[in-house]
């Protein structure tokens, strides 16, 4: 089978994988729109809801992502994705039948298990479908998924939940009646079957840029990356910083409530619109940057990541301390664009310095680090700083201070460390022979 199919087919695969990525985020975020009815139906505490919203998904997701990444490097990524879609969509659908905390907790575990294969398999497959010159653009398009998925969850999901609430309990296929929150889970889980069938149209690409045991690839992805820690380190540091900036969104509701007097509905609508608009704009910026900044170079993804951080860090530091809400909103929009561009640049940069044998493992390790460290750096430290300053209204100062303390040193280190990343791209380019594209 030809590894590089027609351009139209390759972009069809990218769009299909993007839609799968969007669905995964939609299913992940839908619970946040159903907190109050689920609390009421199951008599749950806020602490229990917090477990369902956070650790139940994220910790298990991180624990299984690296082993599943290893499996993806040794088996069919296409079929692993199909199985993953089936698992997470089944878990979402089954959440509509849960009537107590423990079953819902187990279904959230299953959601994390199913979704853990999405990014490692998809980024690896896209990398094998595209040559080094086109790869950053293709991965940048794919990485619009988190922003489009979160935006749809807030906008479309919010409308759907409201409409179901107005309609009241219903029967489905002779079963029920189902409460509106149960129907929401059933509706967002159902499209998984369609995407499983569509994935059957995807050809498993042949792994490219394999270096073999002579380069130490077969032994361990972790050892390979540690042996080149300077180049991998600046990339992971920059991406972790960007993910930490993204966690500031968790504090948008209290920020705009306490400082600017907005209500929750307005803040939620603005945040949803930002995900849905600034995300694609950031992706467009990443596409432009990968072409304009990467002419004749293999470090376009890393340069895109740095460009995103150069936009994100100052905008994120300024918007929480603006004198008016609309000035804050404007700067927050700019910060979202920068974060989306940086989000696209990171995985694209990673694939340019990763041998074909370990692409899925590398993205799984990458995701595990930034998913663990980013949230640990952000929300707890900001909350502790606000408590220490003694007034809830100082949250804006805490947010701004956090960005400056974390963001500025990261920018300096990443910019100075670009040479180490570039050295790895030269090493990879010299170690492989690029196949001629069809």
Region 322-347: mean pLDDT is 92
Does residue 437 carry a pLDDT above 50? no
Q: Residue 204: give its domain's CATH number.
A: 1.20.1250.20
Does residue 436 carry a pLDDT above 60? no
Residue 323 banded pLDDT, cuts 50, 70, 90: very high
* pLDDT of 359: 79
What's the CA gap between 380 and 375, in Å, rounded?
8
Last residue of a domain, one of 180, 208, 236: 208
Of these ranges, 26-35, 218-227, 262-271, the one predicted with the greatest mean pLDDT is 26-35
Q: Which carries the bigger pLDDT value, residue 432 or residue 232?
A: 232
Q: Are residues 324 and 227 in the same domain?
A: yes
- Tens of pLDDT along 130-143? 887 788 788 888 88
Q: Which carries the bigger pLDDT value, residue 33 or residue 228?
A: 228
Region 338-345: mean pLDDT is 91
Q: Are residues 173 and 38 in the same domain?
A: yes
Rounding to the nearest 10 degrees, give the CA dihedral for residues 171, 176, 182, 183. -20
- Whether the Cβ atoms of residue 351 and residue 359 lie closer than 8 Å to each other: yes
Of these ranges, 168-172, 293-297, 301-305, 424-428, the one predicted with the greatest mean pLDDT is 301-305
- Tens of pLDDT along 379-412? 667 777 777 887 878 888 988 888 899 899 999 9
Q: Are residues 192 and 242 in the same domain?
A: no
Region 71-83: mean pLDDT is 89
Q: Are residues 2 and 37 in the same domain?
A: yes
3-class SS of residue 433: coil
Q: Are residues 189 and 229 in the same domain?
A: no
The proportion of the chain whose per-residue pLDDT surpasses 90, expressed as a percent, equals 30
Q: Are residues 143 and 229 in the same domain?
A: no
Number of domains in the chain: 2
- Tens of pLDDT along 10-48? 999 999 999 999 999 888 888 877 877 888 899 888 678
Q: Are residues 217 and 232 in the same domain?
A: yes
Q: Are residues 97 and 185 in the same domain?
A: yes
Of these ranges, 4-18, 133-147, 249-263, the one predicted with the greatest mean pLDDT is 4-18
- Please tell me what DSSP assigns to residue 160: H
In angstroms, the first-to-last Cα distance of the chain is 11
Region 280-309: mean pLDDT is 85
Region 40-68: mean pLDDT is 79
Q: Are residues 330 and 189 in the same domain?
A: no
Domain that holds residue 44: 1-208
As a whole number, the mean pLDDT across the chain is 84
Closest residue by Cα to residue 26 from 122, 196, 165, 159? 159
Q: Which carries the bigger pLDDT value, residue 360 or residue 184?
A: 184
What's the CA gap between 288 and 362, in Å, rounded?
25
* pLDDT of 435: 44
What's the CA gap between 277 and 265, in Å, rounded?
18
What's the CA gap between 364 and 117, in Å, rounded?
8
Q: Are residues 180 and 236 in the same domain?
A: no
* pLDDT of 3: 45
- Please tell me what DSSP assigns to residue 175: E
Last residue of a domain, one of 208, 230, 253: 208
* pLDDT of 84: 93
- Tens of pLDDT along 307-319? 999 999 999 999 9
């Amino acid at each position: 089978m030809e590894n590089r199919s027609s351009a139209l087919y390759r972009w069809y695969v990218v769009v299909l994988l993007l839609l799968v990525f969007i669905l995964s985020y939609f299913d992940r975020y839908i619970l946040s729109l159903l907190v109050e009815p689920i609390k009421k139906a199951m008599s749950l505490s806020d602490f229990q809801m917090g477990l369902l919203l956070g650790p139940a998904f994220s910790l298990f997701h991180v624990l299984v992502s690296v082993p599943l990444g290893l499996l993806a490097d040794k088996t069919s990524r296409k079929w692993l994705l199909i199985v993953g879609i089936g698992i997470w969509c089944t878990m979402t659908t089954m959440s509509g039948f849960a009537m107590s905390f423990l079953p819902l907790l187990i279904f959230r575990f299953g959601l994390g298990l199913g979704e853990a294969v999405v990014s490692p398999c998809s980024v690896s497959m896209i990398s094998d479908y595209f040559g080094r010159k086109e790869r950053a653009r293709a991965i940048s398009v794919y990485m619009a998924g988190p922003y489009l998925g979160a935006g749809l969850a807030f906008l479309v999901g919010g409308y759907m939940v409201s409409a179901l609430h107005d309609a009241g309990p219903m029967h489905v296929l002779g079963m029920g009646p189902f409460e509106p929150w149960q129907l929401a889970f059933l509706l967002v889980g159902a499209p998984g079957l369609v995407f499983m069938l569509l994935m059957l149209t995807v050809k498993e690409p042949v792994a490219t840029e394999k270096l073999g045991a002579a380069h130490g690839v077969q032994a361990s992805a972790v050892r390979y990356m540690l042996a080149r820690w300077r180049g991998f380190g600046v990339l992971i540091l920059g991406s972790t910083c960007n993910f930490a900036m993204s966690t500031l969104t968790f504090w948008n509701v209290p920020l705009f409530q306490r400082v600017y007097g907005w209500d929750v509905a307005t803040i939620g609508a603005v945040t949803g619109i930002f995900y849905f608009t600034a995300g694609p704009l950031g992706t467009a910026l990443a596409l432009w940057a990968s072409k304009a900044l990467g002419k004749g170079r293999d470090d376009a993804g890393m340069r895109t990541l740095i460009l995103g951080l150069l936009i994100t860090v100052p905008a994120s530091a300024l918007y929480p301390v603006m004198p008016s809400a609309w000035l804050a909103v404007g700067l927050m929009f700019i910060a979202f664009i920068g974060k989306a561009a940086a989000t696209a640049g990171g995985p694209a940069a990673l694939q340019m310095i990763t041998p074909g044998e370990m692409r899925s493992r590398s993205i799984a390790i990458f995701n595990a680090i930034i998913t663990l460290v980013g949230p640990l750096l952000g929300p707890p430290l900001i909350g502790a700083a606000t408590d220490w300053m003694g007034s809830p209204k100082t949250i804006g100062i805490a947010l701004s201070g956090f960005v400056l303390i974390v963001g500025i040193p990261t920018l300096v280190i990443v910019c100075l460390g670009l040479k180490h990343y570039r050295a790895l791209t030269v090493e990879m380019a010299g170690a492989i022979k690029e196949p001629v594209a069809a």
